[in-house]
Amino acid sequence: MVAQGSFGNRERFQPEQKAETQERQRITNEFIGKIEALTQRNSASVGAEAGKLFVTMLEKTNLGFVRVADMVKDAFAAAGKKQNGEMFISGFATEYAAAKAFHDLDVPIYHPTKAEDMKAKVDWWVDLEEEGQEIAVQVKSIPLKEGITATLYPLKDIQEVKRVLGSVIIPENLDLGRNISRGEAEARAEEYRTQIEKSLSELLAVKNFSTEDGEPRTIMPALMLLASPGSEGTQINMITGEPSQDMKDAIVDSIYDDALWSRKVLAAA
């Protein structure tokens, strides 16, 4: 499988470089039109496509998280899909916050191509320059209790995926409310594990990517697991969309001893 492009022609995530006024208006108008069109579709790709539009709006305009979120929710509500809009915002927030956390740590991060997003479920590419390592990151959020911090898990194969999910997504770590039975909590944990494993199994395909010249690339797929907004452990400001300092510190602290990049790359930020 050949990756679509390289870091040389992918678009880097740069939220501090807003578009010019006229371009921001064009982006906003295009965003509204595309979101309204998406509300009329029922395919599984709607959330992913809307999420990319949402992140672009936050990155390139100065409307702010709440305003952009309201635009999405209003569009879905007008189409009789209010619950969908509110659910999507939670996922969009975590995807943006993950990118912003790496960006704030001075770690280069890039948008995937549409093909990489749709075929391998890549949310972000992280470029660890000093180590010559490319990380294909998939961001997932579930309701986690306080103290279960943002963690980046390198994934070598499906066995590693199963091990990570089986050790982390357990009832003891989930914020499911006080009135849920143990059996219900176990069922919810299994549901989360099954859904995420399916998505991560597609992400593993990036290990077969090559350059446009057919040369092998050093790519490691990784899961970034965050507490969903509204849950006890969330580390995202839902007014600004910004990741907390605790989230950024946790990303640094979560790097495994056998990780594929050096602690000094992140610690220097």
Please give the full DSSP string across the chain, using - where no structure is assigned.
-B-SS-TTTSPB--TTSPPPHHHHHHHHHHHHHHHHHHTT--STTHHHHHHHHHHHHHHH-SS-HHHHHHHHHHHHHHTT-HHHHHHHHHHHHHHHHHHHHHHHTT--EEPPPHHHHHHH---EEEEEGGGTEEEEEEEEEE-B-TT---EEEE--SHHHHHHHHHHHSSGGGB---TT--HHHHHHHHHHHHHHHHHHHHHHGGGGG-B-TTS-B--EEEEEEEEEPTTSTT--B-TTT-PBPHHHHHHHHHT--TT-SS-HHHHHT-
Same domain, 88 and 208: no
Q: What is the dihedral of CA 83, 88, 93, 95, to 10 degrees?
A: 160
Out of 75, 102, 129, a domain closes at: 102
Q: What is the pLDDT of residue 254?
A: 63
Does residue 130 fall inside a structural domain?
yes
Q: What is the pLDDT of residue 267?
A: 41
Other residues' Cβ atoms within 10 Å of the Cβ of residue 141? 22
Does residue 16 fall inside a structural domain?
no
Same domain, 118 and 79: no
Same domain, 93 and 127: no
CA count, 13 A, side-chain hemisphere, 89: 26
List, for residues 117-156, the tens digit of each pLDDT value: 888 889 999 887 655 678 899 999 999 998 877 678 888 8
Q: What is the pLDDT of residue 177?
A: 86
Same domain, 95 and 180: no
Q: What is the pLDDT of residue 111?
A: 92
Same domain, 187 and 74: no
Cα–Cα distances in angstroms (integers) from residue 257 to residues 108, 133, 196, 252, in the given order: 21, 16, 24, 12
Q: How many domains does the chain have?
A: 2
Same domain, 91 and 141: no
Same domain, 206 and 128: yes
Q: Which domain holds residue 229?
A: 111-267
Q: What is the pLDDT of residue 120?
A: 87
Does residue 131 fall inside a structural domain?
yes
List, for residues 180-218, the tens digit of each pLDDT value: 999 999 999 999 999 999 999 999 988 777 666 666 667
Out of 51, 83, 102, a domain closes at: 102
Q: Which residues of the chain fall short of a pLDDT of 50? A: 1-5, 256-269
Does residue 10 fall inside a structural domain?
no
Same domain, 91 and 115: no
**Residue holding tokens 């294909």?**
136
Same domain, 194 and 156: yes
Q: What is the pLDDT of residue 3?
A: 40
Q: Residue 104: exposed, middle, or buried by beta-carbon count in 10 A (0-12, 13-18, 19+)?
A: middle
Q: What is the reported pTM?
A: 0.85
* Cβ within 8 Å of residue 6, ≥6 positions away: 211, 212
Q: What is the pLDDT of residue 149?
A: 72
